[in-house]
A = this chain, B = another copy of it.
Amino acid sequence: MEKKAGKEEAEAVELLGKTVENKQIIFKGYIEGIPKETDMELRIGKKLKLEKVPKGSGGLLVKNLYLSCDPFMRGRMRNFTGSYIPPFIPGEVIEGFGVSKVLDSDNSDFKPGDIISGFTGWEEYSLIYKTEQLRKIQADDIPLSYHVGLLGMPGFTAYAGFYEVCVPNIGEYVFVSAASGAVGQLVGQLAKLHGCYVVGSAGSKQKVDILKDKLGFDGAFNYKEEADLDKALKRHFPEGIDIYFDNVGGSMLDAALINMRINGRIAICGMVSQQSLSDPQGIHNLIQLITKRVKMQGFLQSDYLHLFPSFLEDVTSLCKEGKITYLEDMNEGLESGPSAFVGLFSGKNIGKQVIRVAHH
């Protein structure tokens, strides 16, 4: 799977100067409700000549290899500038996390042939000028696509959220929703490795089986088959929940609140069930925060970036030792992007939703 750096560089040099068809996925305009495939469109644009990056620009010309579908991107489809990240621009290429190969560089931190991860465009080739958050990937045995999943933002979200926000203790009862998703699957496995009792919820029998059989969860249930989420949680947590890693919000959060133990902690992450609602579902059981002295905390992984190096070291080791498994839902070709992204909101994916733009 891995090729030598020299080979990567040779390919980069070879592409430079060529004229390519640069397929792009365009954001059509601001939306309400659940994203639809028609909110995006494939543009097979004018031919692009892969020229050297202008001197003094500090930029990079890259070939995109993998793109990441993440629920937070839904937030950028609203015309709202007050968030932590600006909205997409209608008519422009969608932006997201990706893994890319550097073809040319005017930045001394990167050279042709380097494989990098960070923000890029949903297109085959991108010119990147915002280079501060790009990271060079060291070649090893781990699939490159993991750098937008297990070893990227979702994995780091799980790591920072679980250790820093949930502050787990050995033996505690941990509940994870959207447990087979990009974040949830790592939260559950870290919790098991930490000595916790872990139950996850997901939206299909297949996902539930994977949680129990492949990811080592102590229990799992299909929330779509539970008439009463409170009862489902009571069945799985007769002693109550110490830590709820909430990836969905909504009625699952309400049910979890009733089942929290004293001094419990709830990490609020993503709220995927609520991302698309202009009038989000009401949460009715917050009074439980008082009676059970529960701490509920929203967080963004970007506030914990000082921990990224130790995350990368820890999780890379665990992965290489076979102590952590990571499920990906790989979608072939840039064309599959809109459908893959939309699938996030219907729970179509099993594991991290990734688009393979190019084999390298």
Name A's B-contacting residues (CB within 8 A): 75, 83-84, 249, 253, 268-271, 274-275, 279-300, 303
Contacts and interface: CB of A to CB of B under 8 A. Distances in A.
A287 B84 contact: no
- Kindly report how many copies of this chain are found in the complex they form together: 2
Nearest to A290: B298
A213 B268 CA distance: 40
Given A280-B285, A295-B297, A290 B269 contact: yes
Nearest to A72: B290
27 contacts: A75-B291, A84-B291, A249-B286, A253-B286, A268-B286, A270-B290, A271-B287, A275-B287, A279-B284, A280-B284, A280-B285, A281-B282, A283-B286, A288-B298, A289-B297, A289-B298, A290-B298, A290-B299, A290-B300, A291-B298, A293-B297, A293-B298, A293-B299, A294-B298, A295-B295, A295-B298, A296-B297
A156 to B, nearest CB: 15
Interface centre among A270, A288, A294 (most CB of B within 10 A): A294
Contacts of A285: 280
A303 B295 CA distance: 14
A253 to B, nearest CB: 8
Nearest to A263: B303
A286 to B, nearest CB: 6
Nearest to A298: B289
A300 B263 CA distance: 11
Given A292-B298, A294-B298, A297-B295, A286 B271 contact: yes
Nearest to A283: B283
Contacts of A286: 249, 253, 268, 271, 274, 280, 283, 298
B299 A296 contact: no
A79 B293 CA distance: 21
A299 to B, nearest CB: 6
A16 B349 CA distance: 78
A164 B289 CA distance: 16
B297 A303 contact: no
Closest 8 CB pairs of A and B: A282-B282, A289-B298, A290-B298, A295-B297, A296-B296, A283-B283, A268-B289, A280-B284
B83 A287 contact: no
A286 B283 CA distance: 8
Nearest to A282: B282
Nearest to A288: B298
Contacts of A274: 286-287
Contacts of A270: 290
Contact of A293 (B288, B292, B303): B303
A268 B281 contact: no
Given A283-B282, A284-B282, A268 B297 contact: no
Nearest to A265: B297
Nearest to A266: B296
Nearest to A286: B283
Nearest to A300: B293
